[in-house]
Amino acid sequence: MIKIGIDAMGGDFAPEVAVEGAVMALKKVGKDSRIVLFGDKERILELLKKHKCSAENFDIVGTTEVIEMHDHPAKAFASKKDSSMTVGFNYLKEGKIDGFASAGSTGAMMVGSQMVIKTIEGVIRPVISTFIPIIKNKRGILLDVGLNVDAKPEVLAQYGLMGSIYANAVLGIENPRVALLNIGEEDTKGNAQSKAAFELLKADKNINFVGNCESSYIFTGKYCDVVVSDGFVGNVILKMAEALYRINDRLNPFKPWLLKLLRPVLEPICGKLYWHQNFWNSMNYESVGGTIVIGVNAPVMIGHGGSTAKAICSMILTMERNIESKVCDKMREALKNIQPASLEE
């Protein structure tokens, strides 16, 4: 039995959207998966009744406190011991759930990840990553997307290894191609940080490093499956992709509801129309549900603060996939005998 923990009180529109998203996910998760909701039990039960869904479909862990977006992450995590987030992380640590996700405070989620779950031995810095759409209905990953805005070359080099392990375990990509995001393809391009990271990645025999990648090729899949970046640039790329989705959605004459209605008729004769739509939809955070924390001892996922019910549903499905892949076990095993790259070597 897989147990997926969800912070029902996390996010701008919690607990309403969290409960609605969990109800939506019930029809999509595997029969051996169980959703565990952490939060105000009375309120959760009211919302389940509103959605005409039996509470027996979930495990509900009642809590009395909430870590708010404006709270100091570390102080709130330490003082609010009965918050939905704190209790959720403790359940994860004790093995009572197999993964934990929240659309609440990113800072508090990282405090829980590093202080309670802790980083995998050998990991220099954990990283947050996201799936990126690639032409022809494929996916790659981009990391970091906002955690470490100033990353040392050694850290960037390890991102390549962790991203490669993740892409293989979760996306099923054999021997993933790893590239360093840069301003040009030539080996000598970039600033001092990227040049040093390039040399470390190139020397790492544990990954399939293919060199530098310009941002114009990220979504083509022509050169790579894993894109390595520091958190500053990665977050800019992520936010730009989300903006492009919104622009396309506004300009697209074929509205999603119309395409869905006409799909049985149009897809057999105009499949490319749907490939196009699927590609753009993959840039919508709602289709993934959030960012994945890589490098800690159990699956953790952080959702957008403004998550909708659809986003929460996607978050649950992505978390289920992460748990099933046993990616944390594979990461631990892979890093056990690998020393982090160093410029001094």
Query: What does the pLDDT read at residue 134?
Result: 82
The whole-number pLDDT of residue 285 equals 74
- Taking Cα atoms as reference points, which of 138, 322, 108 lies closest to residue 220? 138
Instruction: Determine the Cα–Cα distance for residues 238 and 241; give it in Å rounded to an integer.
Output: 5
CB contact at 8 A, 150 and 122: no
Closest CA to 10 of 312, 224, 247: 312
Neighbouring residues of 131: CB distance < 8 A, sequence distance ≥ 6: 139, 140, 141, 171, 282, 288
Contacts of 19 (CB under 8 A, 6+ apart): 8, 37, 44, 47, 48, 51
pLDDT at 91: 97
Which residue is listed with tokens 């990553």?
129
Instruction: Write the single-letter amino acid at 64.
Output: T
Cα torsion 165, 233, 109, 141: sign: negative
Instruction: State the Cα–Cα distance between residues 36 and 22, nearest whole angstrom.
Output: 9
pLDDT of 282 reads 67
The SS3 call for residue 316 is helix
Predicted structure pTM score: 0.86
What are the residue ranges of helices labelled H in the chain? 16-26, 41-50, 73-79, 84-93, 106-112, 153-171, 192-203, 231-251, 256-266, 271-281, 285-288, 309-325, 327-335
Whether 214 and 186 have beta carbons less than 8 Å apart is answered as no
What pLDDT is attached to residue 289?
87
Q: What is the pLDDT of residue 257?
A: 57
pLDDT score at 286:
79
How far apart (Å, rounded) are the C-alpha atoms in residues 31 and 254?
Answer: 35
Q: What is the 3-state secondary structure (H, E, C) of 296-307?
A: ECCCEEECCCCC
Q: What is the pLDDT of residue 281?
A: 67
| Residue with tokens 């093995």, as numbered in its chain | 95
Dump the DSSP string for 193-212: HHHHHHHHHHH-TTSEEEEE
Q: Say how far residue 198 (Cα) sits from the centre of its chain.
A: 25
Position 339 scores a pLDDT of 67
Question: Residue 16 to residues 21, 24, 36, 109, 316: CA-CA distances in angstroms?
Answer: 9, 12, 16, 20, 16
Domain(s) of CATH 3.40.718.10: residues in the chain: 1-123+296-325, 124-294
Q: Evaluate whether 223 touches 177 at the Cβ level (below 8 Å).
A: yes
- Determine the Cα angle at 62 with ends 317 and 287, to 5°: 20
Place of tokens 């114009």: 216
Query: Which ranges of the chain have pLDDT less than 70?
Result: 136-137, 251-283, 339-345
Q: What is the pLDDT of residue 329?
A: 92
Burial status of residue 54 (CB atoms within 10 A of its CB: 0-12, 13-18, 19 or more): exposed
What fold does the segment set 1-123+296-325 form as a domain?
Isopropylmalate Dehydrogenase (3.40.718)
Q: What is the CATH number of domain 124-294?
A: 3.40.718.10
Q: What value, to the nearest 5°, has the Cα angle with vertex 105 and ends 104 and 109?
A: 95
Q: Which of 286, 301, 238, 308 is nearest to 12 (CA)?
A: 308
Q: What is the pLDDT of residue 276?
A: 57
